Amino acid sequence: MNTVVFDLDGTLVDTVADIAHAVNRALQPAGLPALTLAEVRGQVGLGGTALVRRALAKAGREAGHEEVAELQDAYLTAYAAEPVRHSTVYPGAARLLDELRGCGVRLGICTNKSGRITGELLAALDLTERVDAVVTGDTLPVRKPDPRPLRHTVELAGGTAALMVGDSTSDVRAARAARLPVACVAFGYHDDVAALAPDAVLTDYATFFTTVRGAGIPLPAPTP
């Protein structure tokens, strides 16, 4: 297994506070109630449109196409203006990336987030130089759960056999369609990752190697 590909939101980086801040800035002028962190967390993997529809449903309003599109644009504008105000790297993630690279593993990030915001996040959180390839939601005409972005990430990273690490249905479906093993983090944005039936469930990054190997997924040993 010479390549490991990570999702971004809810897997390597906790971005929910910045996403909530942006979507609530978009909702306020429209007279819509703010979404709580828990409400945003449950919708993050489904994209900005899902967040807007959740807010309209909370207010008891019908989700008309025009209003959804306008609120989506307002949310994306607000998020692009401040994408890294509160976002943080999950504990142990940066160290794990360094350990994997240290034992010869190629690393990639495959996310549905836009390229511009992804680049800002990675740079601000000191992750850019830790990976070999980044594929975002606007790199190809398709996004996860289509397997093509995942396959493209592996190719750009210069690897062959790969493991996908994520936290959502989209990550698992993309990996299955690409015929790759997949591990899900239990601390991400899906309440019950075991229900997604990944090959391995990661409770933290400190036990990454033992958990993945215990699931029968081969990885080289980290350098002591």
Considering 7, 14, 18, 171, which one is annotated as catalytic? 7
- Tell me whether residue 7 is one of the annotated catalytic residues: yes
Cα 172 → chain centroid: 12
Q: Which domains are seen in the chain, by residue range?
A: 3-14+87-214 (3.40.50.1000), 16-81 (1.10.150)
Burial state string for 96-109 with b = 16 or more CB within 10 A and e = fewer than 16: bbebbbeeebbbbb
Q: What predicted TM-score, i.e. pTM, was given to this entire model?
A: 0.92
Q: Is 9 annotated for ligand binding?
A: yes
What's the half-sphere exposure (Cβ side, CA atoms, 13 Å) at 20?
16
Cross-strand bridge partners of residue 165: 6, 183
Give the residue among 159, 154, 162, 150 at the shortest CA–CA distance from 111: 150
Average pLDDT of the residues in 170-185: 96
Share above pLDDT 90 across residues of the chain, in percent, rounded to a whole number: 68
Cα gap 167→11, rounded to integer Å: 6
Segment 138-146 long-range contacts (CB within 8 Å, at least 24 positions apart)? 138/114, 139/115, 143/112, 144/7, 144/110, 144/112, 144/170, 144/171, 144/173, 144/174, 145/169, 145/170, 145/171, 145/172, 145/173, 145/174, 145/177, 146/174, 146/177
Convert the pLDDT of each residue in 1-28 to its tens digit: 799 999 999 999 999 999 999 989 988 8
Which one has a higher pLDDT value, 37 or 45?
37
Query: pLDDT tens, 78-112?
Result: 999 999 999 999 999 999 999 999 999 999 999 99
Residue 187 has pLDDT above 90, yes or no: yes
Amino acid found at 4: V
